[in-house]
Chains A and B, each alone.
Chain A
Amino acid sequence: MNAPTVHILDYGSGNLRSAHRALERVGAQVTVSADYDAGMAADGLLVPGVGAYAACMEGIRQVRGERLVDRRLAGGRPVMGICVGMQVLFDRGDEHGIETEGLGEWPGVVEQLQAPVLPHMGWNTVSVAHDSVLFDGVLGERFYFVHSYAVRTWDFVVTDPRRTAPQVTWSHHGEDFVAAVENGPLVATQFHPEKSGDAGLHLLENWVRSLA
């Protein structure tokens, strides 16, 4: 069996080397570029993201990332967002009073955390969703977070009985916030699995295996 392929969408956002090497370490064949067709062709698409929400959205738009994510999801093809790459999957971001429209895959607003020390920087625990596949075998571990903004409420109501509700994993820094979402082909983490040591590698391995 061939190794699953993962394409990392390079739209100019920070350190991609760690994600690249971490995915290779857990058995994926990895490509990194802004190329739309490469993004469509891979078994899995990874959307990274660090820095400002507005800057990330602009970068994603410039490489037609919005359409890429939509097209893949329409076909049930896996997409994973990390950090701001997760935040852009929500309706919009609100940073320093600047509202930026996101990809709108999930309802919700990314807002500043109410906490005494920001950014939330370091290793934190998570309260893992029941029946999570992503966290299979990595319960009770800490993951590395670095962010000031987060999704603080989740009110995605699934009305269609044929659909299963997304699995939401929470963490806490000053207040509760969404740490990960698993929603069929679309998964995302607010923390950086590629920077979370063995626990993070295990989580990425769970995702890569699901692509096979």
Chain B
Amino acid sequence: MTVSIRVIPCLDVDEGRVVKGVNFLDLRDAGDPVELAARYNREGADELIFLDITASSSDRSTMYDVVRRTAESVFIPLTVGGGVRAVDDFDRLLRAGADKVSLNTSAIADPDLLSDAAERFGAQCVVLSVDARRCPEGITTDSGFEVTTHGGRRSTGIDAVAWCIEGTRRGAGEILLNSMDADGTKHGYDLALIEMVRREVTVPLIASGGAGSIEDFVPAVVAGADAVLAASVFHFGQLRIDEVKRALAEAEFPVR
């Protein structure tokens, strides 16, 4: 008996519609989130992640409605992130039907939000989402990776690995590790980044960014990921969830 490697489609949601673009700059419509969620559930997705990418600037009620409708028809775990700024946002999302809530920029601005949410709702529903990249010129960190915000466009100078450690110390129960270098390239996950974070944290680790072909998933798990996330390869039918699972099973990793 071993817990299986989770395969997670991520749905970027903009005003109630799923979008996914290369490096977040060129958005393309890939459908209704509730329908897509149901489809992924049927295809064997182990979990779903909704990322509200317009949350910072527009009304979030559309997202609550998407979460509510999804939770009414799909009975697998649902993580929701994007624009969550206060413990009350957490509460509303959980009540709408989310099981976990991911924090990204708001946790950088206010790290206490991680501790407060973990204390009130439990570490198991607090996901720290980290948009990491190799340090560009002029920025130095111990790990060589820094945390970015605004979809990778803005530098923070914070050491990405140290931030993962700090985040889990504050109560995050899971890390969603996005490589901004790999995101949208379809050249595979950033294995060095995964390995570095895996060495330092004991919470589950979701690898994200770069999945482009069926060969990309096993190396991420070998590097230490407990779950693998992908978006566009699933949305545009390039890969199916069961194909990814078969590849993992052939490498003798447990899958559902």
Partner-B contacts on A (CB < 8 A): 14-18, 21-22, 25, 50-52, 55, 116-127, 142, 144-148, 171-173, 192, 194-198, 200-201
Contact = CB atoms under 8 A, between A and B. Distances in A.
Contacts of B98: 15
Nearest to A125: B1
B32 interface: no
B72 A117 contact: no
A17 B95 contact: yes
* Contact-residue bracket for chain B: 35 or more
> Lowest 7 A-B CB distances belong to which pairs?
A51-B122, A172-B1, A17-B97, A122-B3, A123-B256, A124-B3, A125-B1
Contacts of B226: 117, 121-122
Interface string B144-180: 0000000000000000000000000000011000000
22 contacts: A17-B72, A18-B71, A21-B72, A50-B124, A50-B125, A55-B120, A117-B226, A119-B174, A121-B124, A121-B226, A122-B3, A122-B6, A123-B4, A123-B46, A124-B1, A124-B2, A125-B1, A127-B1, A148-B123, A195-B99, A197-B76, A198-B75
B203 to A, nearest CB: 7
Contacts, number: 114
A14 B125 contact: yes
Contacts of B46: 122-123
A118 B203 CA distance: 5
B72 A195 contact: no
Interface in B62-81: 68, 71-73, 75-77
Given A120-B3, A172-B1, A146 B124 contact: yes
Contact of B2 (A17, A118, A172, A197): A172
Contact of B174 (A51, A121, A171): A121
B204 interface: yes
A15 B94 contact: yes
A50 B126 CA distance: 12
B230 to A, nearest CB: 17
